[in-house]
Amino acid sequence: MIARFNKLESWDSMRSVPYYFFYYYVPTRYSMLSSESQYVREEIWNFKNGIHQDLFINHLEKKIKHTFERPNFLTLVCIPASTRESNKVRFENFSNVLCKKLNMINGFQYISILKEKSPSYLGGSDVATYDFDRSFFKGKKVILFDDVVTKGASMQSFMDYLEEVGAEVVCCISIGRTFYDRYMGYEINNPWTGNTVFKCGYLKAPDMDNRTIEERKIPISGENTLKASCKIQVGDVARLNEVSVEEQSVAKHQVGDCIRFGQFNGRFVKWIILDQKGDEYLLISKFGLECMPFNKTEGFTTWDGCTLRKWLNEDFYNNAFSRTEQEKIIRHEVVASDNPIYRSFQGKNTNDKVFILNIKEYNQYFDIYNKWVCRLFSGILRQCWLRNSGNDNSRGAFIGRSGSIHAGGSKITSSRNAVRPVMWVKL
């Protein structure tokens, strides 16, 4: 019986949050499956239809009990299915049963589907919208669950939603993880049982640009690994979501990673790595920190003399970062590059520790694949300042909520635009 429990950890990560899956989900286009993989695929289909769910409920019960010392302090959240009906069939009873077994808090009824998801190949929109009960989720420690993870986009988006309503995702779990062509040519095992996904080798040559999947351990609270015998206390779980720069300094950072650095208005500030030069990293805040004017008074203004620059390098810098963190921030020459559309004067180069992007830098770091989205901590989409002057020096360029450049700008005294600070940090 493939439901045996063998204490394999095999924790991966989903954007710095611990992630675990039990089996590879192998699509029907693949042949030569092991009997286990064939069985798992059929059982996942059954799970989606709300039948034979006990197998995976037992898996989850054992895994959560083995990982967390006190799961009764945790809240289970299932990423909703595409329609209200399928969501009810798939997750309502599943959530009730699992939460009762573990005495966990059930988050099922506190998320409503406002707009159902319909596949694009059927002529519909592949996007769903949800309503979260903010009062319920505020301060909750969440186990985020999905039946199958493919690229992880849905899970990462849902992590953002939960974070915006005040919850903290402490780990992500799925039954299956989609098997990809890049895994061909390697002996891949299911994490839960250790059994091979295929019963024999692949006929197709392996993709040499991809390496075998390694079972990675998860850094946690200053420790090097999450060991098989480790029990996580709820008080510790809060540290799993994002570890500090000091704790992460021993690891190799990559462009696109999210790290925690500093605090603003009682919240840890999260930053996305935009660029890397040796041990120096260019960070941009994940969220817009606050809406404020580019300059408090009207009239001729450029970046070198605006009140926003002064606020970032004085008030924000002094209050958001500890002395240790300040020592890691690099003073950087900020170039006053031209507005590519308008010939407004751009002022002088400056030497700043904290600044914002200009139009040229925005085009360098953001495109259709690395899409610009500026949300406040509350989840509200906002347009966001760039440091270029607009069509004249009483206006400042900005990025709209859709990610488009508004080179002509808005009045520099406008309080509608958010601020996403940027800085070079040595790690």
> Considering only 43-52, 70-79, 204-213, 363-372, which range has the smallest mean pLDDT?
204-213
Is 273 within a domain?
no
Averaged pLDDT score across all residues of the chain: 82
Each residue of 109-133: b (16+ CB within 10 Å) or e?
A: ebbebeebbeeeeeeeeeebeeebe
- Find the mean pLDDT for residues 263-279: 89
Q: What per-residue confidence (pLDDT) applies to 126?
A: 59
Let me know whether 227 and 339 are in one domain: no
Let me know whether 90 and 169 are in one domain: yes
Which two tokens mark 140?
Answer: 């909750």
Let me know whether 306 and 182 are in one domain: no
Q: How far apart are CA 86 and CA 109, in angstroms?
A: 14
pLDDT tier, 67 (very low <50, low <70, confident <90, very high otherwise): confident
- Find the mean pLDDT for residues 374-391: 88
pLDDT tier, 223 (very low <50, low <70, confident <90, very high otherwise): very low
Q: How many domains does the chain have?
A: 2
Let me know whether 227 and 310 are in one domain: no
Q: What per-residue confidence (pLDDT) applies to 216?
A: 29
- Find the mean pLDDT for residues 65-77: 91
Let me know whether 54 and 138 are in one domain: yes
- Find the mean pLDDT for residues 367-372: 73
Is 279 within a domain?
no
Domain endpoint, select from 182, 207, 241: 241
pLDDT tier, 2 (very low <50, low <70, confident <90, very high otherwise): very low
pLDDT tier, 368 (very low <50, low <70, confident <90, very high otherwise): low
Is 336 within a domain?
yes
Q: For the segment 83-136, what is each residue's pLDDT rounded down to a tens digit? A: 899 999 999 999 999 999 999 999 999 999 988 876 544 444 556 788 999 999
Each residue of 208-226: b (16+ CB within 10 Å) or e?
A: eeeeebeeebbbbeeeeeb
> Considering only 20-34, 137-151, 210-224, 353-367, which range has the smallest mean pLDDT?
210-224
pLDDT tier, 309 (very low <50, low <70, confident <90, very high otherwise): very high
Let me know whether 93 and 236 are in one domain: yes
Q: For the segment 390-416, what is each residue's pLDDT rounded down to a tens digit? A: 999 999 999 998 888 999 999 999 998
Let me know whether 215 and 299 are in one domain: no
Q: How far is CA 109 from the centre of its chain?
A: 24
Does the pLDDT value for residue 366 go beyond 80?
yes
Q: What per-residue confidence (pLDDT) applies to 77?
A: 97
Let me know whether 233 and 331 are in one domain: no
Share of the chain above pLDDT 90, in %: 55
Q: Which domain holds residue 365?
A: 289-422
Q: Which of 422, 400, 108 is nearest to 286 (CA)?
A: 422
Is 257 within a domain?
no
Let me know whether 320 and 185 are in one domain: no
> Considering only 257-261, 307-311, 392-396, which range has the smallest mean pLDDT?
257-261
Q: How far apart are CA 215 and CA 238, in angstroms?
A: 24
Is 427 within a domain?
no
Is 246 within a domain?
no
Domain endpoint, select from 202, 221, 241: 241
The domain spanning residue 167 has which CATH number? 3.40.50.2020
Let me know whether 231 and 302 are in one domain: no
Let me know whether 65 and 186 are in one domain: yes
Does the pLDDT value for residue 183 go beyond 70?
no
- Find the mean pLDDT for residues 325-352: 94
Is 280 within a domain?
no
Which two tokens mark 224?
Answer: 């090097």
Let me know whether 313 and 236 are in one domain: no
Q: What per-residue confidence (pLDDT) applies to 237?
A: 36
- Give the other-Cβ count within 10 Å of 92's Cβ: 15
What is the pTM for the complete model shown?
0.49
Does the pLDDT value for residue 179 go beyond 60?
yes
Is 348 within a domain?
yes
Q: What per-residue confidence (pLDDT) applies to 13?
A: 75
Domain endpoint, select from 179, 209, 241: 241
